[in-house]
Amino acid sequence: MIIFPAIDIKEGRCVRLVKGDFNKITSYKKLPLEQAKQYYENGFNNIHIVDLDGALNGVPSNSIAVKEIIKKIKIKIQIGGGIRTIDNIKNWIEIGADKVIMGTAAVQNTDLLRTACNKFKNKIAVSLDVKDGFISLSGWKNQTNILAIDFIKKIENFGVSRIIYTDINKDGTKKGPNIKDALELSKKVKIPLVISGGISSIDDVVKIKSLNNSNIEGVIVGKSIYDGDIKINNLAELI
């Protein structure tokens, strides 16, 4: 199972939100490059990066900070936030991103998603931000009436490499992930699932890692690292 330490970037800084609320934002001292270097030095092979300004505005907005990480640190990056065109995807892959995450664009334009998956084999991940079973879009500002399970079934044969499943009710709360719903969903679909949102302790990660389910590919850990609830070196022992 892959452990993805997270870097959320807003206006060039590392930040975390609570339940996707941009009015409940915490900024941290370390710059994204410093944070990425710390992950790399502790032995992590993957980083999950979200351009929050991009997610809000619909266009990549923190490319300089992310490019710096890709250029200077030999670590696999999956990048999301404002990636809504084939050119956006092509640019990130040419720069060196391991996976490009489509969110809002994937849900609003499944033809675009299918084209991207065909053009960039095994490079496209889809991020689904889910509240009470339904997908939210545009940095969680727009709630849809689309059930996550229905959407995944619709795209199941496109060639999506992974689904990043974020429970909005849990994200940034450090009250524990919604393992139950993620596990149930993973058993109903073929695309590997990465759990995101609510990780509060090493025990949460151990619990997910011990699941007898080969379709849970990984877990994303963010706010608990930044706040010191999870020590990076302790998390690295689970790699």
pLDDT in tens, 117-141: 999 999 999 999 898 899 988 655 6
Residue 180: its H or E element: helix 179-188
Residue 74 has pLDDT above 70, yes or no: yes
In the residue annotation, 8 being an active-site residue is answered as yes
Amino acid at 85: T
> pLDDT: is 175 or 203 the higher one?
203
Q: Which residue ranges make up each domain of the chain?
A: 2-236
Q: Which fold has domain 2-236?
A: TIM Barrel (3.20.20)
- The Cα–Cα gap between 179 and 164 comes to 13
With contact defined as beta carbons under 8 Å apart, do 232 and 5 qualify?
yes
User: Which residue out of 129, 167, 171, 204 is catalytically annotated?
Assistant: 129
| Cα gap 69→35, rounded to integer Å | 9
Catalytic-role residue among 8, 51, 98, 167? 8
Residue 172 has a pLDDT of 67
The answer to whether 167 is a known catalytic residue is no
Longest Cα–Cα distance of the chain, Å, equals 43
pLDDT of residue 32: 96
More confident residue, 37 or 55: 37
